[in-house]
Amino acid sequence: MDYVPLVREVGSVFSVPNGPTTASDSAVLMRSIMRWTYTILAVVLVLGGSYYLFTKMERPITGVLYFIGATIAAYFYWVKWFMIPAMKPDWPPFQTICPDYLTPVSPGMMKDANGNATTGGLLKCVDFVGVSTNGVLKKADPAMLDKQINQTQYAFTVDPKMKRDELKAQVDTYGLTWQTMFTEK
């Protein structure tokens, strides 16, 4: 995806050897151009408007008030547009640890065949609602959770070592959706 077509065109036409080579380099360059453009425009508008009001219109109090107000407004938008996005460059969407409408059950909450609490293991997701579209994942009963948690038809296992494609295939196999991970159908 090309974020800065104009910069790429200028770079290719004039053969700039140190021009941006990737989309991230182009984005950084565009951000720098936008910052400088904003700074120059803000200085021109604040000082030019104040000068015009102060000398040409002979309204010194209005010029001073305009200078103060325009400076505050320019600084507000500087912070809003350039400082806040720089502090949080990757604002990820909310990521759940289980597919949609499933309840996570941590390994410490599970019991083995003898009824003893287990430590370790993988996070399991249990369906208390009945959302599987193809019926592979059955609706679990909270009273029978100790017995059902170790059965694959009642628990969806989330393994952090799985690749994205493997996880997508497992979600599809169980007839589930996971909007925060896989937005496309």
Domain boundary among 53, 87, 121: 87
Residue 185 in this model has a pLDDT that exceeds 60: no
Q: What angle do CA 159, 178, 117 make, to 5 degrees?
A: 40
Checking if the pLDDT of 46 tops 90, the result is yes
CB of 166 closer than 8 Å to CB of 125: no
- Residue 71 falls inside a structural domain: yes
Same structural domain for residues 68 and 124? no
Which helix (H) or strand (E) segment is 155 a member of?
Answer: strand 155-158
* Average pLDDT over every residue of 45-65: 94
> Where is pLDDT greater, at 96 or 185?
96
Position 183 in a domain = no
Position 17 confidence tier, pLDDT thresholds 50, 70, 90: low
Q: Let me know whether 37 and 82 are in one domain.
A: yes
At which of 63, 87, 111 does a domain end? 87
Query: Rounded to whole angstroms, how far apart are CA atoms 41 and 162?
Result: 50
Question: Is a pLDDT exceeding 60 seen at residue 15?
Answer: no
| Residue 31 maps to a domain | yes
> Of the candidates 60, 87, 114, which is a domain's last residue?
87
How many degrees, rounded to 5, is the angle at CA 21 between CA 17 and CA 26?
Answer: 110
Quick one: pLDDT at residue 1? 43
Give the model's pLDDT for residue 77: 93
Q: Name the pLDDT band for 98 (thresholds 50, 70, 90).
A: confident
Residue with tokens 């009963």: 141
Residues 83 and 9 reside in one and the same domain: yes
* CA–CA separation, 98 and 129 (whole Å): 14
Task: Report the distance separating Cα 148 and Cα 137, nearest Å.
Answer: 11
What mean pLDDT is reported for the chain?
80
Does one domain contain both 115 and 155?
yes
> pTM value?
0.46
Q: Tell me the C-alpha distance between 16 and 19, whole Å.
A: 5
Find the domain containing 48 and state its range. Answer: 5-87
Residues 113 and 151 placed together within one structural domain of the fold? yes
β partners of residue 156: 125
Q: Is 95 part of any domain?
A: no
> Which of 138, 142, 102 has its CA nearest to residue 123?
102
The pLDDT-based confidence of 178 (bands split at 50, 70, 90) is confident
Do 16 and 72 sit in the same domain of this protein?
A: yes
Q: Is position 92 within any domain?
A: no
Whether the pLDDT of residue 145 is over 90: the answer is no
Q: Percent of the chain at pLDDT above 70?
A: 72
Q: Residues near 150 by Cβ (< 8 Å), separated by ≥ 6?
A: 110, 113
| 97 within a domain of the structure (yes/no) | no
DSSP 8-class letter at 108: G
Residue 93 in any domain: the answer is no
At residue 132, does pLDDT exceed 70?
yes
Average of pLDDT values for 44-48?
A: 96
pLDDT computed for residue 91 by the predictor: 45
Do residues 71 and 24 both lie within one domain? yes
Q: How many domains, the chain?
A: 2
Place of tokens 């169980």: 174
> Are 181 and 174 in contact, with CB atoms under 8 Å apart?
no
